[in-house]
């Protein structure tokens, strides 16, 4: 059995199939990990969702910010100029696809492999145990009867830059932001949500994985996506960044994880 992880697909169905063909992916014995942002911006979001769903237990997907945005759109959220959700929202199997999507986790761990997968980043002061506990709280809401109301709260939220005090709702929104939107933060957990493509100006703002002795570093290596501007991150001991910007003229990248050192492959769409 081989375990492969792929970065942000974002509806680039043809590139995904080309990658899987190159490695002779066999869903009867292999497993595909998808690091979130399955949909949006690319040309084939509907095909991508249907394909991943049909893979069943051979595919493990975590939620990214674009996946959550699709759920928000389905509840009446705002349409943005570059959104490519219309085909999904008009599909006969839309409800089934959205139900499958909202039951995906925010984080996935495999003790045997020693790998963890999430979409964006981690809080430097949260242990992996604490992170999984917080993720499960968000997942429970997304899988529950009030998921639409929560998605609309997410849609209109101004994400707090640090751990909020007060309501459980604010804590859930902060956890969601950390796991699906993080790029820069400080060692004590102040998050910069504004910088997306350039470098952060404050010296205390570092890539979330660059803080020494972060609480989450002890057990797992982390594979993630989300940060197309930074591209592939292959030189860090604790993380593997796989967003190579397929929808921005780059490529789609896949890594084999069940080997001593990940083997990375990229195709251009």
In the chain, where are the structural domains located?
3-268
* C-alpha–C-alpha distance, residues 155 and 234, integer Å: 33
Cβ-proximal residues to 79 (8 Å cutoff; 6+ apart), any chain? 73, 85
pTM of the complete model beyond 0.95:
yes
pLDDT for 199 equals: 85
pLDDT for 203 equals: 87
CA 150: distance to chain centroid? 18
Give the 3-state secondary structure of residue 56. Answer: helix
pLDDT for 161 equals: 94
pLDDT for 202 equals: 87
pLDDT for 165 equals: 85
pLDDT for 188 equals: 94
Q: Averaged in consecutive runs of 10 residues, what is the pLDDT profile of the chain (269 residues)?
A: 97 97 97 98 97 98 98 95 95 98 98 97 97 98 98 95 89 97 97 88 92 91 97 95 95 96 90
* DSSP-assigned letters across all residues of 12-72: -HHHHHHHHHHTT--TTT-EEEE-S--SSSSS-HHHHHHHHHHTGGGEEE---HHHHHHHH
pLDDT for 127 equals: 96
* C-alpha–C-alpha distance, residues 117 and 220, integer Å: 9
Q: Which residues pair with 59 in a beta bridge?
A: 32
pLDDT for 134 equals: 97
pLDDT for 17 equals: 97
Class of domain 3-268: alpha beta
CA proximity to 66, closest of 34, 41, 87: 41
* C-alpha–C-alpha distance, residues 41 and 268, integer Å: 16
Instruction: State the Cα angle at 40 between 152 and 13, rounded to 5°.
Output: 145
């Amino acid at each position: 059995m081989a375990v492969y992880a792929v970065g942000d697909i974002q509806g680039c169905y043809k590139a995904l199939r080309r990658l899987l063909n190159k490695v002779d992916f066999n869903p009867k014995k292999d497993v595909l990990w998808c690091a979130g942002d399955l949909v949006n911006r690319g040309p084939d979001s509907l095909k991508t969702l249907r394909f991943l769903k049909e893979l069943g237990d051979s595919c493990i997907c975590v939620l990214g910010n674009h996946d959550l945005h699709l759920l928000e759109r389905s509840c009446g959220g705002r349409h943005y100029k570059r959104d490519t959700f219309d085909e999904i929202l008009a599909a006969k199997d839309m409800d089934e696809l959205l139900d499958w999507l909202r039951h995906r986790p925010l984080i996935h761990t495999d003790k045997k492999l020693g790998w963890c997968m999430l979409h964006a980043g981690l809080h430097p002061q949260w242990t992996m145990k604490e992170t999984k506990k917080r993720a499960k709280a968000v997942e429970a809401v997304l899988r529950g009867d009030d998921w639409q109301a929560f998605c609309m709260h997410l849609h209109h939220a101004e994400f707090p830059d640090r751990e909020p005090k007060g309501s459980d709702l604010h804590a859930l929104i902060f956890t969601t932001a950390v796991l699906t939107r993080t790029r820069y933060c400080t060692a004590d957990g102040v998050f910069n949500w504004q910088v997306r493509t350039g470098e952060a100006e404050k010296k205390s703002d570092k890539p979330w994985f660059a803080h020494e002795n972060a609480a989450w570093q002890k057990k797992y290596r982390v594979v993630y996506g989300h940060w197309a501007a930074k591209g592939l991150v292959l030189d860090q001991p604790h993380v593997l960044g796989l967003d190579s910007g397929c929808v921005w003229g780059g490529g789609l990248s896949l890594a084999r994880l069940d080997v001593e050192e990940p083997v990375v492959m990229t195709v251009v769409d």
